[in-house]
Structure 1
Amino acid sequence: MEIVELVDFLKNYDGRKIRLMEVCGSHTHAIAKHGIRDLLSPQIELLSGPGCPVCVTPTAYIDKLIELSLEPNTTVATFGDLLRVPGSKESLNEAKGRGGSVEMVYSPMDVLALAQDHPDRKYVFAAVGFETTAPVYTLLLDNAIARGLDNIHILTALKTMPGAISFLCDNGAQIDGFIAPGHVSAVTGADYFNDLAAKYQIPFAVSGFGSKELVIAIYGLVQMVINNDNTVKNYYTSVVDSGQNDIIEKQLAKYFRPADVVWRGMGIIPGSGLLLKEEFARFDAGSDGLDEDNKRNKACRCGEILMGKAKPHDCPLFGKVCTPMSPEGACMVSEEGSCFNAYLVK
């Protein structure tokens, strides 16, 4: 079928209500950017799930980074979007304003030069992410060990996607199909989601990020829902294979172990995180046990939005107290956040 025919089908679909969820922050951004929701029938609802790593990082983690930034001879290095994420009382940006040592970097590897140039200073990298970014942190550690840099540490908030999807399915999220995360699938392979599809009898469609790629994947997923085809289909074959990359799998297994971790607004999800193994504990800046998830503003509905139980416009703070320039919740901070993208197209 031509793309125009797929769009025509999706726009005029009048069957039973179908609720689909993307669990990739880049998909959330791409769907907003390309106006994909405007192409869909009212009977096809697209929800944004817990696919933005910044959005699911608990306040205790931000508070720990702030604490570290205020320690003598210690600098926290991080990507830019984490600077504005609210902790329980303030953000890293606000802590920097009162003397915290915070360095924005564009790659974890930037820390190597900083640590080498300032051997008497401790550098803590904020290692936030999913299966996609976790391998990069193993390379950082490989290089730190090879260069003998013992002043590099990481504070991890690394999460794996199957645990979150299981949590959603086990806790009443009424989802008929998942748009599987493209970047995660590029690392893990499409088969990564087979067990979830079988266990919950729900289809998955692996998608790319272009407008045509998203339309094709959404059309395919709708057809799977209609036909009760509860399997995993890969619509991103130019990048995603079936199985996991053995080299990456070996790297992750070298440094990390599965752990029970907190997802912002969702609580502790067993086995859904990665912590450094005991033999590499010297590189850990205190990642274990960061379980507190206290909202700065109690009215924030970020957790419900991440679980598909509310939409950004349902939050009383949205677009009023909470904007990209003054975010009250993590979903409004990153360009991958559901509230951020809803604000842009409101």
Structure 2
Amino acid sequence: MKYAEEFRDPKAAKALLAQIAEVVDDIGASRDAPIHIMEICGGHTHAIFRYGLDKLIHDGVDFIHGPGCPVCVLPMSRVDECIEIAEKEGVIFTSFGDAMRVPGTKKSLLQAKADGADIRMVYSPLDALELARRNPDREVVFFGLGFETTTPSTALSIQVAAREGLTNFSVFCNHITVPEPIKVLLDDPYMVLDGFVGPGHVSMVIGTHPYDFIAQNYGKPIVVAGFEPLDLLQSVLMVLQQIRDGRAEVENQYARVVSEHGNPVSIAAMADVYEPRPSFEWRGLGEIDASGLQIRKAYEAFDAEVKFGIGHAVGARVVAEPEGCACGAVMTGRMKPVQCPQFGRGCTPEMPLGALMVSSEGACAAYYQYGGARAAAE
């Protein structure tokens, strides 16, 4: 296949749905005892609801929405620290657009910008580097945010800044990694999971072997998936076939993009610039050991936490979630978004209260956008 339309072909989708139904019937799953499959990536959650796959697929399959949106799981304390940096005199604070509306305890970056802070949206850390070159009398800070997908570009930018001696450039590092929260979810005694649809973009960087523990240690199948409807349906079918056959393996449906060992240049850059944090807070899930990355001492001149004396340099601040927020229950499969009392009422995309409503890739935002708002009203 060459073009997106081919991955959205209705006839092919119907054939895959029929195969899925056949395998589910072979397994003997039903609405009362469904097969629980977690899509780890927020992009997959969005695609599932955009194309109505949750409604088209056999009743014996239940999608559990994982913590696969880095904007969604960013804790409010880190947003507060962003704003603290941005409001310092002489600072130009740069951020991806989807992080601008993430609420802190008092306001978001967008609100801080309206209050007068020099906060600018960029499309890449390279944009922030260029701002540093053009403004040598200003401190330019890039808000490094995301999973392994975006982590290499930030690492490479720090390496460039070090080579050029750009002393007025730094990164507020909030990069996080995928495998560690999956371990936490699998160790949760209340979590019921039968298999995983693995993240395609993350796997493009790290390959497929970081997920070996899911199959080897927990006996659960995982299939790395692309983002089109046929990608997702085929991946679900592959997970179900493993369950039916009594197998637990790491399989790669997204082979046109993902290789077994990932991108060696990106992996080398990450290893050079970052090291694991002892612990990092995930909004909705709490503290998770070794799940975040911090800038190594060799590059601490480009570490905004060190430069401005916040975050891990002086001890992180923990902020409680808003009362009534049920994001943790949604991410562990104990509740659907529409069952949260705040959904569509106290929590909407315009005024997000919980982690999963913050970004369009969050489960609650996807539910809301593709029909959940009506369900909440009813």
Q: Taking structure 1 as the reference length, what is the TM-score of the superposition?
A: 0.95
Match of 2:299 in 1: 280
Q: Once the two structures are aligned, what percentage of the paired residues are identical?
A: 38
Say whether the 8 Å CA contact 1:160–1:272 is kept in structure 2. yes
1:3, distance to aligned residue in structure 2 (A): 4.7
Which of 310, 324, 329 aligns to 1:304? It is: 329
Task: Give me the whole-angstrom Cα distance separating, in 2, the residues matched to 1:211 and 1:306.
Answer: 22
Which of 4, 7, 17 aligns to 2:14? It is: 4
Say whether the 8 Å CA contact 1:50–1:56 is kept in structure 2. yes
Q: Are 2:362 and 1:337 aligned?
A: yes
Select between 8-17 and 144-153 the one with higher mean Cα deviation: 8-17
Task: Give me the whole-angstrom Cα distance separating, in 2, the residues matched to 1:195 and 1:334.
Answer: 29
Task: Give me the whole-angstrom Cα distance separating, in 2, the residues matched to 1:38 and 1:250.
Answer: 42
- Give the unaligned 5+ runs of structure 2: 1-10, 306-310, 372-378
Q: How does 1:5-84 map to 2 (within 5 A)?
A: 5-11=15-21, 13-14=24-25, 15-16=28-29, 17-84=34-101
Which of 123, 143, 155 aligns to 2:140? It is: 123
- For the structure 1 residues 29 and 3, does the alpha-carbon distance in structure 2 shift closer, same or farther, using more than 3 Å as the test? closer
Task: Give me the whole-angstrom Cα distance separating, in 2, the residues matched to 1:293 and 1:41.
Answer: 40
Q: Are 2:217 and 1:199 aligned?
A: yes
Match of 1:141 in 2: 158
Select between 87-96 and 4-13 the one with higher mean Cα deviation: 4-13
1:292, distance to aligned residue in structure 2 (A): 1.2
Say whether the 8 Å CA contact 1:69–1:101 is kept in structure 2. yes
Say whether the 8 Å CA contact 1:24–1:52 is kept in structure 2. yes
Report SS of the residue matched to 1:60.
helix
Task: Give me the whole-angstrom Cα distance separating, in 2, the residues matched to 1:291 and 1:242.
Answer: 38
Task: Give me the whole-angstrom Cα distance separating, in 1, the residues matched to 2:109 and 2:362.
Answer: 18
Report SS of the residue matched to 2:100.
helix
Instruction: Report the number of matched residues.
Output: 345
Say whether the 8 Å CA contact 2:223–2:238 is kept in structure 1. yes
Task: Give me the whole-angstrom Cα distance separating, in 1, the residues matched to 2:231 and 2:65.
Answer: 17
Say whether the 8 Å CA contact 1:86–1:330 is kept in structure 2. no
Which of 318, 325, 331 aligns to 1:292? It is: 318
Match of 1:319 in 2: 344
CA displacement, residues 5-36 of structure 1 (integer Å, 9 cap, x when unaligned): 32113356442220000111111111122211
Task: Give me the whole-angstrom Cα distance separating, in 1, the residues matched to 2:50 and 2:140.
Answer: 36
- Give the unaligned 5+ runs of structure 1: none
